[in-house]
Amino acid sequence: MKELSLHILDIVQNSLAAKADRVEIVINEDRIGDLLEIRVKDNGKGMTEEELAKVVDPFYTTRSTRKVGLGIPLFKANAEACNGRFFIKSEIGKGTEVYASFQHSHIDRVPLGDIIGTVISIIAVNPQLRLILDYQLDGHKIIFDTEQIKEVLEDVPINNPLVLDWVKKFLTENFPNPNS
Ligand SMILES: Nc1ncnc2c1ncn2[C@@H]1O[C@H](COP(=O)(O)OP(=O)(O)O)[C@@H](O)[C@H]1O
Ligand SMILES: [Mg+2]
């Protein structure tokens, strides 16, 4: 995929399909350590060991009768092509964590892309979801949590267009600046 944010969107869609009502996206960009890490943690239904094995290996899955997509194998291949690592931890009834890392400066490493737009579009379609974004750039951190916004909003839905505009502005202004 052309942007890592599209992989993140795909992974979050999996969490939603697994009935998660809490999703945490943790991104660590460390240009000094030449590392980019992405973690998506959910409290969805989780996977068995056997399901997990099928999910990370697309050739294994073609032999199963169940339809399985390529979202996870593509993300894994992308990370590993950039000197990175990839793993999934999952527990039935508890949730799933997907981890991918990349050599930040790797020539094949695609840009992070529009993380703010991705977060906004997830909230717009899933107002009931607790979405947490924890983004760190060279040690400068922003943590955004829909729960905090909802406390202030009281009866106004978080996917009200005016609220989404405000959230977008807030995130844009508070995102760590890559040039400072
Ligand atoms: N967070 C998750 N929680 C539970 N099951 C998951 C999760 N992510 C992936 N899966 C399982 O792995 C399968 C493969 O995921 P993916 O590679 O993204 O393809 P697709 O979403 O098209 O099925 C999903 O269909 C689902 O059964
Ligand atoms: Mg998927």
Q: Does residue 57 lie in a domain region?
A: yes
Q: Does residue 142 lie in a domain region?
A: yes
What is the position in ligand 1's atom list of the atom closest to the CA of 98?
Answer: 1
pLDDT of 132 reads 98
pLDDT of 60 reads 57
Q: Does residue 16 lie in a domain region?
A: yes
Give the CATH number for residue 107: 3.30.565
Domain of residue 88 covers 4-174
Q: Does residue 180 lie in a domain region?
A: no
CA distance 70 to 51: 14
What is the position in ligand 1's atom list of the atom closest to the CA of 44?
Answer: 3
Q: Does residue 179 lie in a domain region?
A: no
List ligand 1's pocket residues with C-beta within 6 A. Answer: 10, 14-15, 18, 42, 44-47, 55, 68-72, 96
Q: What domain count does the chain have?
A: 1
Q: Does residue 20 lie in a domain region?
A: yes
Which protein residues have their CB within 5 A of the ion that is ligand 2? Answer: 10, 14, 71
**Would you write out the chain's pLDDT as a tens digit for each of its 180 residues?**
789 999 999 999 999 999 999 999 999 999 999 999 999 999 999 999 989 988 887 665 444 555 556 789 999 999 999 999 999 999 999 999 999 999 999 999 999 999 999 999 999 999 999 999 999 999 999 999 999 999 999 889 999 999 999 999 999 999 998 776
- pTM score, two decimals? 0.94
pLDDT of 49 reads 93
**If you write DSSP's letter for every residue of 111-180 in order, what string do you get?**
P---HHHHHHHHHHH-TTSEEEEEEEETTEEEEEEHHHHHHHHTTS-TTSHHHHHHHHHHHHHHSPPTT-
Q: Does residue 56 lie in a domain region?
A: yes
Please give the C-alpha separations between residue 142 and each of 5, 12, 136, 139, 162, in angstroms, as whole numbers.
Answer: 17, 19, 6, 10, 22
